[in-house]
Amino acid sequence: MKRDLFTDDHEAYRDAVREFLKREVVPNWERWDDEHMIDRSVYVKAAQTGLYGLQIPEQYGGAGEMDYRYRMVVAEEIAKTGATSFAVTIAVQDDLVLHYLRDLTTDEQRERWLPPFAAGELIGALAMTEPGAGSDLRGIRTRAVQDGDDWILNGQKTFISSGIMADVVIVAAQTNPDAGSRGFTLFVVETGMPGFERGRQLDKIGLMGQDTAELFFRDVRVPAANVLGGVGRGLQNLMSHLPRERLGLTINAFAKARAIFEETRRYCADRVAFGNTLDSLQHVRFELAEMSTELDVAEAYVDKSVLAYNVDELTPTDAGKGKWYLTDLEKRVIDRCLQLHGGYGFMREFHVGRAYIDTRVETIYGGTNEIMKDLIGRELVQELHRHE
């Protein structure tokens, strides 16, 4: 079936994205994985090309383009290259950090942070997870205590994407232990603040080029000018940005699953076994048919979610449905694709093998899929009881 989501403008943008990736990413991403770090210079070039940060207002150096379909084009094209670590880093910047810096900042803060972000010169990170607090953000123990006009921040964060290279880190901290959900605040910690230290770059089993770190805050003095979104509004601000975060995870999962499937379909057409190509075997055709159908059905929900987000109608629950279903589908599709590749699927030089490892975390981060299902189920139950 013809896909009607994109216009000619989106396809023209796709051509520019594809050319950039061919020139700047494809020759380098395997080296980035081997070195466990992506060159910072590529973000400057990516920003100049418009690969991310499009929604930054023009007065701060962006395009002021709010259509999320452009973000989806980027996700689809990166997925075709196999550069998963680059895809995740772009997603962290565009689907997470930018929207906190754009939506929650004062005029003075926007003047400070948005122009260098739009230029690709400022890299950000979002620091929520702690050794004892993952999907349950109310378990955060990092603490900030007011001291005059400043705040003294103490605590530890872990599993922080882009934590090593980040110039600014948005940190969630408890500011009033007696205030319940209004006892948390977001702070922007900047490189060079005394007491802010980066621990080791964590040794992950996948996403080797995407740096992930432990962060430590020991009596970090954060000025009031670096409070983000208001004192006591940390949890509310986090919750308000869940649709964008979950949608980003959804589209990346779909893009990667579709890319690996298409690659596997071509492999089955070329690979000869028992005197004929793999796709001459009925079982293989059944596997391809099932995966193609599942992806086409899922595509309808993904596209619907993107359009709903564009008109500010995507709810956290609907975004959560996409997040758990698409990351779970991605995992199943890539596993089946690896099986169809046989021994070659277990080799790092094949995209399917790397994808099998790199995408495993996607059912975990951004809120585990078990948490997504519980949140969806609770809303279903509450909605029914509200109407009794």
In a domain, residue 3? The reply is: no
91 vs 245: CA distance, rounded Å = 9
Q: Which residue has the tokens 């921040």?
A: 153
Q: Which residues contact 331 (CB under 8 A, 6 or more apart)?
A: 359, 360, 362, 363
Pairing, β 276-277 against β 196-201: unpaired
Residue 135: what pLDDT?
Answer: 65
pLDDT at 388 (0 to 100): 66
Residue 3: other Cβ atoms inside 10 A: 9
Cα–Cα dist 54/34, whole Å: 30
**What pTM did the predictor assign?**
0.94
| 145-181 per-residue burial string, b: 16 or more CB within 10 A, e: under 16 | eeeeebbbbbbbbbbbbbbbbbbbbbbbbbbbeeeee
Dmax (CA) for the chain in angstroms is 79
pLDDT of residue 104: 97
Domain assignment present for residue 2? The answer is: no
- Which segments of the chain have a pLDDT < 70? 1, 134-136, 387-388
Distant-in-sequence, close-in-space partners of 234: CB < 8 Å, separation ≥ 6: 172, 173, 175, 184, 185, 186
Same domain for 45 and 133, yes or no, is no
Domain count, the chain: 3
Whether 351 and 380 map to the same domain: the answer is yes
Same domain, 262 and 380: yes
**Residues 98 and 130 grouped into a single domain:** no
> Catalytic residue among 245, 263, 330, 362, which?
245
Whether residues 145 and 276 fall in one domain: no
pLDDT of residue 136: 67
Report the interhelical angle of 242-270 vs 282-310 (nearest 10°).
150
Structure confidence at residue 134 (pLDDT): 64
Structure tokens at 87: 């895809």
Verify that 382 and 260 share a domain, yes or no.
yes
Q: What is the helix (H) or strand (E) element at residue 76, kind and residue range?
A: helix 69-81
**The last residue of a domain, from among 176, 199, 233:** 233
N-term to C-term CA, the chain: 42
**At 223, is the secondary structure helix, strand, or coil?**
strand
Task: Establish whether 245 is a catalytic residue.
Answer: yes
The pLDDT, as a whole number, for residue 176 is 94
State whether 143 and 227 are in the same domain.
yes
Helix (H, G, I), strand (E, B) or coil at 176: coil
Residues 335, 381: one domain? yes
In a domain, 229, yes or no: yes
In whole angstroms, give the CA distance from residue 163 to residue 123: 9
Residue 99, token pair as written in the block: 């929207």
Separation CA 356–CA 334 (nearest Å): 6
CA atoms within 13 Å, Cβ hemisphere of 47: 24
Same-domain status, 349 and 264? yes
* Last-in-domain residue among 215, 233, 251: 233
Cα–Cα distance, 123 to 31 (Å, whole number): 21
* Residue 343 amino acid letter: G
1 lies in a domain? no
CB burial string 261-291: b at 16+ within 10 A, e below: bebbbebbeebeeeeeebbeeeebeebbeeb
Looking at the domain assignment, is residue 175 inside a domain?
Answer: yes
Q: Supply the range of the domain harboring residue 354.
A: 241-386
